[in-house]
Structures are given as C-alpha cells and as structure tokens.
C-alpha cells in the first residue's frame, strides 16, 4: 500500500512540474483528473467557439489550431455555453485513435473577451493537399491550412461554392470552411 501511495504522490508532483502546451491546460481536479492527464485520457482545449452544428463544435484554439469536437454527450447547460465567438474551455476525452474526432466531456466558460469570426462566400479555387484556397467574387484569395485542424478536417472540392470562416486577429487566417449546396441551373425548355 505504501508503494501505491508513493507512486501516486510522485505522479501528482511530476505532473504539476510539467507545463502544458499553449492552448491547453491541465485538469488538476483530484487524483483522478491528474491520472487522466498523465495517462493521456483527458486534456483541455481553450479557445473561441467558431460554430456549433449537429453535435460538432468547431473551436479556434488559443494555440492557433482549429478543433472539431464531438459534443453529442454534453447536457443542455453545457451546450448553452457554445455560442459563436464565446471563449470556452473544453475537457476532451482522448480516443485510442489519434486521428479521430475528440469527444467533449465538459465545457466551462473561458476568460477574456469574445472574438469575431468573419464569413465570406466564394468558390474553392484549389485543394492542394491539406490547403484549401477560396476566391471571393471581389477577387480576395484566402487559404485554410487543413493541417492545423485537430479532428475531422473540412471537406472541399475545387470549383464548388463554399463559405470560408476566417479571423483577422492576431493575423488574417482561414479557420473553417463549409461547402454550400448549389442549385443546379434550370435547363432551358426544349421544343419539338
């Protein structure tokens, strides 16, 4: 029993000495929270809500990455915190597959002012690996780096209509892209 207590104490002390990555914080809530963190079972993502649709949260992290997070298991009070632009802290369960979408265990309000994300309609000019370039009708070209997305990356097809979500602070950067349904042009009437 003494060995178990000593081992748990060492884990708690050592986990408190390591610093989390920018945009993440350690959930040091009791021994269980520390063990979850040390074992890699849970971690926190801090950032601003870009959008929340169909049990998927798009979060712009403080670390400059965009997170797509499964929110299907959250209760109504947690979901009410997911308003666009609002700062939040999301406790995430790590799945066994590192490429899978993280799952939200809880949501808490974050500190700081809300953030404004802009949206612009355009056409996907190119999809080059993980980089998606959108051109607006005004000729503005914006790029989203899909390599900076944690979880499920957005899908885009060249020459299709899309809405690009971007931020202007700290720098102009694409954050997310939503493909738009385009209405097929009506075929002209045929005469016999």
More confident residue, 7 or 167: 167
Give pTM, 2 decimals. 0.72
Distances (CA, A) of 44 to 101, 139, 166, 171: 14, 39, 23, 24
Q: Does the fold of domain 118-179 match that of domain 21-109?
A: yes
Under CATH, which number does the domain 118-179 receive?
2.40.50.140
Reported as a single tens digit per residue, the pLDDT across 102-143 is 999 999 999 999 999 999 999 999 999 899 999 999 998 999
Angle among Cα 46, 42, 85 to the nearest 5 degrees reads 20
Q: Which CATH number fits domain 21-109: 3.40.50.620, 2.30.29.30, 3.20.20.70, 2.40.50.320?
A: 2.40.50.320
The rounded mean pLDDT for the chain is: 79
Q: What is the pLDDT of residue 186?
A: 42
Reported as a single tens digit per residue, the pLDDT across 39-56 is 556 789 999 999 999 999
How far is the C-alpha of 175 from the C-alpha of 158, rounded, in Å? 18
Q: How many CB atoms lie within 10 A of CB 39?
A: 10
Whether 13 shows a pLDDT value over 90: the answer reads no
Segments making up each domain of the chain, as ranges? 21-109, 118-179
- Distance spanning both ends of the chain, measured CA to CA: 92
């Amino acid at each position: 029993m003494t060995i178990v207590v000593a081992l748990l104490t060492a884990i708690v002390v050592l986990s408190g000495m390591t610093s989390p990555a920018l945009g993440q914080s350690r959930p040091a809530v009791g021994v269980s929270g520390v063990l979850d963190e040390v074992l890699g079972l849970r971690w926190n993502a801090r950032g601003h809500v870009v959008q929340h649709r169909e049990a998927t949260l798009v979060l712009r992290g403080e670390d400059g990455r965009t997170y797509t997070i499964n929110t299907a298991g959250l209760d109504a009070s947690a979901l009410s915190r997911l308003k666009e632009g609002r700062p939040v802290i999301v406790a995430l369960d790590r799945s066994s597959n590192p490429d899978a979408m993280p799952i939200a265990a809880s949501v808490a309000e974050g500190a700081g002012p809300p953030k404004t994300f802009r949206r612009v309609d355009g056409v996907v000019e190119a999809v080059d690996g993980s980089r998606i370039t959108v051109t607006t009708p005004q000729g503005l070209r914006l790029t989203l780096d899909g390599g900076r997305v944690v979880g499920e990356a957005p899908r885009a097809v060249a020459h299709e209509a899309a809405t690009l979500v971007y931020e202007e602070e700290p720098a102009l950067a694409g954050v997310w892209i939503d493909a738009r349904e385009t209405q097929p042009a009506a075929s002209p009437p045929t005469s016999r």
